[in-house]
Structure 1
């Protein structure tokens, strides 16, 4: 009757100075419950309680709605998708960390833009697809992909200046081009525009990490993962956390996070570099050789070239950060 896809229902009960707020998110078409929670609070400061519960509910339902939309779009025939559904179908493909999935995702994002030329979020997602391809699979495409990502990110911001996701992906494109101050500004703006946006906090953490503030990067990255625990960008954010610990010279923490990634997302290549460098810094040469052999088996001989990438390709790293990573490789006996 309301013409909506999701309904957020709630009730409140009071006993003395205590209240219980119960809320649930429902798929309006099927009646399926997507999420439910209850909150027990003291009503001494009722306005503070209102704000706290509203924020908690917003943080909880946003990632679940997005996940539900991706799954719904994946079940629908491609020729029947509208622009919004094309966008979510693309996000569904982008969530699958396989090289061929990125091309499929890009096709749906392009179609979404064709169906709705003012759809800023589709442009932002298209930019993300180009950056993911460089970061995860094809660093050799940096000179081609990053400028294209920057163009789509700027288009997204131009179409909707209030879209936090657009500013977040623009921040990511900028740090990959070495424009760190502008990247930090865009990431901070993304967080201010949408304080419950996981991608905004992820961009803020990344901008701080690659901009020379690794210790300040960890908290926003942890916030991003708390806000969206099932986000497709979780492996990337964990990679940033591992590298932040490394650049902050907390090698034990870096190894712990990188090992977690190695076991949970074994086909995600970027953290292997951080893990090898951190093992070298801590003198664990034998373990580094085991990890290196595993990486060669998993990613083929091409992985050897990645050990030189901080010198040749990862130009978003500052010179001192590049040397820091390479020194770990040297101590692990992996480069001369």
Structure 2
């Protein structure tokens, strides 16, 4: 046996039995994820050694008290961030106690009074908090920027003498940030936005409730978007009924962008105006006006909230893109890398996809715990997989699945994670699994245009194209600046609904069509009996994809009903697809 002075960190998980009873497999999986991605790396980084683990806790030895406290603060601060969007009854939270004392080591286990005290004070810590003894508090008082609160002397179970305890606050930084830590802070930065209370311009006191409710609903809806940092209602409403200077308010709230608006009642109508301001230069990024009849003021509130919450993130993203284009930072932070990767992904070319992969990899190198970036890496790889831009499709598919598992483990409440899981399952013809994730994405963010348009796509594959058209049209209304590919989704939905003229019109909105879109247009003309136009589009199909084959093309579609697959097959045959294929086979021979 050996004996030496050491700092002992004891931790356990609050509510472990309750969480295990409610969802044993899910709790174990999430706890394992936290261990792998956060807790064990934090212990290793700070020079700790795990001595013993139980189902819900562990004992860790540190040779330095400072390192033990730094590790504890990092774990609790990052767990608090991870839990920010998790329902209270599903949160995994820890209590941590730290003591400095003589420890007896025997056969890779530890014993002694110092260990017992660490275990006892951990039970007195707040959920998500840290409790330390006087010996620890004395050591760190002048070394770390951590608030320390005196709890006085406490009597601990099976400890004969009272022990003086302290609570550590988690608000301050542990040490002055190193260059690496500064990069890490930048890595998780998101565009910050504050929604100021909307002004009631009506002179009608009853409209005050409408204005306040509208403001609160917009804040709530924007908070669903994980790519934004939204200032809380309590902070924003400090400025209610006060004249404001945009730059001063933004500086005090720590916001890059401000949303201002007003509500005015005019007869039996209500007018809502809203504007988005870039606080750095007091420039108006976007503005809009909504005029509605005053039949149901709460329905108006919901409608206007949905429109603003759907439009603002797109306008913010465009402003961020413009800023990046102007500044071209040498060391982009994770959010900036992910944003640029998304833009490249939407261009849908081989070169842009390759560059998007490099940027999303950079984002994850800067912030490995960035769930949103893991989800988008799966999306970008999925684009390469679907369009055949990868050499080893099996290996890429395995990467896609792994990325989505990581994203889901990090944040089960990110609508993008479930949206992309739904898309991947559609491409794997697992339509029922896709439907589960799609519905989860919709419940998390019903005003996200990419989720809404995908609902229309999925309904089309499931044989409900008329409903699909309605959802895709809704996505277009939610985001008037929607990606061009929305027109392609709409054209495919109209085709499945046997509305060929509307389908052709939708496809004609595309500035450039790929061979798949030309094939759908050819099938439309086939059903309309226009052989000349159908043949012309089949020639374009062949020019873009010389290896195009009817059956291989149909195999890439995901219709749940065989009749829908037969429908496009018949349309292509009517347009002359069989003749074109026969001519191609004759030419090759």
Give TM class, smaller chain.
Answer: 0.7 to 0.9
Q: Aligned residue for 2:556? A: 314
Q: TM-score, normalised by structure 1?
A: 0.86
- Counterpart for residue 522 of structure 2: 276
| CA distance in 1 between partners of 2:491 and 2:277 (Å) | 37
Name the larger-Rg structure.
2
SS in 2 for 1:95: helix
Supply the distance in 1 between the matched residues of 2:539 and 2:347 (Cα, whole angstroms). Answer: 25
**Higher relative contact order (CA closer than 8 Å, sequence separation 6+):** 1
Distance 1:150 1:68, change over 3 A: farther
The corresponding residue for 1:239 is: 488
Instruction: Give the drift of 1:37.
Output: 2.1
CA distance in 1, matches of 2:310, 2:271: 19
Aligned to 1:80: 331
Check conservation: 1:74, 1:89, Cα contact below 8 A.
no
Compare the two structures and name the one with the higher helix fraction: 1
Shift of 1:266: 1.6
Cα distance 1:227–1:47, how it changes in 2: closer, same or farther (>3 A)?
A: closer
How does the TM-score come out when normalised to structure 2?
0.51
**Deviation of 1:38 (Å):** 3.0
- Structure 1 position 47, deviation (Å): 4.4
Identify if the C-alpha distance between structure 1 residues 30 and 270 changes in structure 2 by more than 3 Å, giving closer, same or farther. Answer: farther
Whether the 8 Å CA contact 1:93–1:104 is kept in 2: the answer is: yes
Asked if the contact 1:169/1:203 (under 8 Å) is kept, the reply is: no
Q: Equivalents in 2 of 1:69, 1:148: separation in Å?
A: 29
Equivalent residue number for residue 574 of structure 2: 331
Distance 2:501 2:298 in 1: 43
Query: d(CA) in 1 for partners of 2:567 and 2:385?
Result: 22
Equivalent of 1:119, from 364, 370, 393?
Answer: 370
Q: 17-26 or 156-165, which moves further after superposition?
A: 17-26
Alignment of 1:1-336 (within 5 A): 1=251, 2-13=253-264, 20-40=271-291, 46-77=297-328, 79-135=330-386, 138=389, 145-232=396-483, 234-235=484-485, 237-258=486-507, 260-261=508-509, 264-297=510-543, 299=544, 302-305=545-548, 307-311=550-554, 313-314=555-556, 316-318=558-560, 319-335=562-578
Q: What's 2:76 paired with?
A: none
Partner of 1:24, secondary structure, is strand
TM-fit CA distance, 1:12: 4.0
Kept after mapping to 2: 8 A contact 1:73/1:86: no
Instruction: Give the structure with the higher percent strand.
Output: 2
State the partner residue of 2:171: none
Matching residue of 2:130: none
Q: Structure 1 residue 14: deviation in Å? A: 5.4
Query: Gapped runs of 5+ residues in structure 2?
Result: 1-250, 580-589
Residue equivalent to 2:99: none
Q: Deviations over 1:278-329 (max 9, x none)?
A: 22222211111212233444x2xx3442544334x41633444333222222
CA distance in 2, matches of 1:6, 1:306: 51
Deviates more, 1:13-22 or 1:77-86: 13-22
Deviations 1:54-74 (A, max 9, x none): 333222212111222233234
Alpha-carbon offset, residue 330 of structure 1: 1.3
Choose 194-203 or 266-275, whichever is displaced more.
Answer: 266-275
Task: Tell me how far apart the structure 2 counterparts of residues 243 and 140 of structure 1 sit (CA, whole Å).
Answer: 29
- The 1-side partners of 2:368 and 2:488 are apart by 34
